[in-house]
Structure 1
């Protein structure tokens, strides 16, 4: 009987998949019956030649991030993530709609969400501080860091310990700078994986998992918004607004859309200030976005 080895998917490389077993990288193909794997997946493989294998089985996941694919289909981006750090900054600008979108997905995907305010050495403005206070009041941890000045990085390292994490956020907010600050030999590791798997540099466009020096793993994924609202229903979007949850069950109708519905407890809570009006307006925008996608 062929021996099965359990491994960790590190990245997609060209048509192959880099799987780590006991610190060694094996370039694998996948059996057709196995569904698409992603960085962070645990798999069982057979070794077919030196540094080459075949993925025979995908082990159960406790979380999955997906992005829209062709048509109405989705494609996995990363699996078994414990926490998503939503990175934002005052420059280029603070996209709170995108932040809310990430948070709504985390609420529905069994993934903890944390906020990173990068470039915190730059001047801030009052309305941003008010929004940040709203998020913290909802229980979202906030890390103020500056990758340039190496400020707040140690606190971030502590939060990353013993977990699989991923950074998300719009382009230009400093995700790469943060990743490089946390993984000083990132390029060396990338080149090593590429060399072992006989691929040149820059062939990796998919998410890649890196082991952090202090412990824990960080999945680095290129792209602006690596995952959209794919797979979420309108009800799930409302549930994704953490402060809505206690009011939803008090709406007059079970199929309340929280827009202009009679007896909507969510809208009443917005009216009396229990729910942030700005967050509610962004919820309405995301509902529109879902119907357009």
Structure 2
């Protein structure tokens, strides 16, 4: 067998996969027997010709982000992420339920999470500040930025170095503005990937990995607005709430649903103010949104 080289998957182009090999980008096909290859994957490729390759092997992932697809299927979206920066804003109104959903998924996927409060140049309600204190008390990093006014951007740039990151959040919160501020030549990079491989149209909804000018990689995935809860069990959802951790083991029953169960330490902690009641209520709402098969 021809010698194999290690590369990094940076985009899907038509039916091909763009793999970065040193300072080269090669359009590759993939072996049918391999699992789905996604942006951020490290792969071993063979090269039958200088500008064409074949993915022969998928290297172990340190993390994988998944989302529900058709039916009950779950498919990977991006691999080897270190941190997901959950973006929300003064407007549209912050959807803390969605924010908790992202955080619960990160807690279960071996991916760090941080919060980005965008559009801080606009007024916002005091109740938002009260909620943010809860997250900061749980040691979630919080960045206050305005992509349009370029406020707080340097702090994020600093922390993006040396890791692979992604922005997530509801539509309208300014993820694209933030990405464009950090990647001023994003369009040129997209075009250069398509031109280098000379194949396949680059679609705007496809995930793409970019090297940031100041260091670090950013996976931009405009088509992934929501990851869903299909992959989580009820116990994993509860584990996704950091403040529940000290109490989960104190519930009377091992399979406690933290609902109306007898001697539920989590519910008692929410009722006596040991954990934020608003977060506990959102946990119950997310539990209701889960597919019935995932609930006890």
Q: TM-score, normalised by structure 2?
A: 0.96
Task: Spell out, residue by residue over 1:62-94, the C-alpha distance to the aligned partner (whole angstroms, 9 max, x if none).
Answer: 100011122211111000000000000021110
Question: Equivalent residue of 2:136, what SS?
Answer: helix
Report the CA distance between 1:199 and its aligned residue.
4.1
User: CA distance change for structure 1 residues 224 and 22 in 2, over 3 Å: closer, same or farther?
Assistant: closer
Give the superposition deviation at 1:206. 1.8
Structure 1 equivalent of residue 52 of structure 2: 52
- Counterpart of 1:39? 39
1:213 aligns with 2:231: no
1:121, 1:227 → 2: CA distance? 29
Q: CA deviation at 1:21?
A: 0.3
Question: Which segment drifts farther, 189-198 or 125-134?
Answer: 189-198
Residues in 2 aligned to 1:171 and 1:188: alpha-carbon distance in whole angstroms: 24
Contact 1:77 1:226 in 2 (8 A): no
Q: Which runs of 5+ in 1 are unaligned?
A: none
Structure 1 216/241 Cα, relative in aligned 2: closer, same or farther at 3 Å? same
How many Å separate the matches in 2 of 1:54 and 1:69? Answer: 26
| Residue number in structure 2 paired with 1:167 | 167
For 2:58 and 2:166, locate their aligned partners in 1 and report how far apart those are by CA, in whole Å.
Answer: 21
Equivalent residue, structure 2, for 1:18: 18
SS in structure 2 at match of 1:246: helix
Cα separation, 2, equivalents of 1:200 and 1:191:
11
Report how far residue 248 of structure 1 moved: 0.4
- Rounded to whole Å, the distance in 1 between the matches of 2:13 and 2:204 is 5
- Deviation string, structure 1 residues 90-134 (Cα, Å, up to 9, x no partner): 211100000000000011111110000000111011100000111
Equivalent position of 1:279 in the other structure: 279
Within 2, Cα distance between the matches of 1:178 and 1:148?
8
Q: CA deviation at 1:204?
A: 4.6
Provide the residue aligned with 2:132 in structure 1.
132
CA distance in 1, matches of 2:54, 2:266: 51
Matched, 1:246 2:259: no
The superposition leaves residues 236-260 of structure 1 with CA deviations (integer Å, 9 ceiling, x where unpaired) of 0000000001100000011100000
CA contact (8 A) 2:85 2:167 kept: yes
In the aligned structure 2, how far is the partner of 1:48 from the partner of 1:205? 30
Distance 1:85 1:250 in 2: 32
TM-score, L = length of structure 1: 0.97
The residue number in structure 2 matching 1:227 is 227
CA shift in 2, pair 1:225/1:203, >3 Å: closer
Q: Is the 8 A contact 1:13 1:204 kept in 2?
A: no
**Could you tell which deviates more after superposition, 210-219 or 226-235?**
226-235
* Equivalent in the alignment of 2:67: 67
Aligned CA distance change for structure 1 residues 45 and 200 (closer, same or farther; 3 Å): closer
Answer whether contact 1:11 1:204 (CA < 8 A) is retained: no
SS of 2:116's equivalent? strand
Q: CA deviation at 1:203?
A: 2.6
How far apart are residue 205 of structure 1 and its match?
Answer: 2.5
Asked if the contact 2:13/2:200 (under 8 Å) is kept, the reply is: no
RMSD: 1.3
Residues 27 and 199 in structure 2, CA contact (< 8 A), matched pair in contact too: no
Structure 2 equivalent of residue 155 of structure 1: 155
User: Are the counterparts in 2 of residues 9 and 18 from structure 1 also a CA contact under 8 Å?
Assistant: yes
Q: 1:23 to 1:230 in 2, by over 3 A?
A: farther
**Residue ranges of structure 2 left out of the alignment (5+ in a row):** none
Task: Please give the alpha-carbon distance, in whole angstroms, between the structure 1 residues aligned to 2:205 and 2:27.
Answer: 16
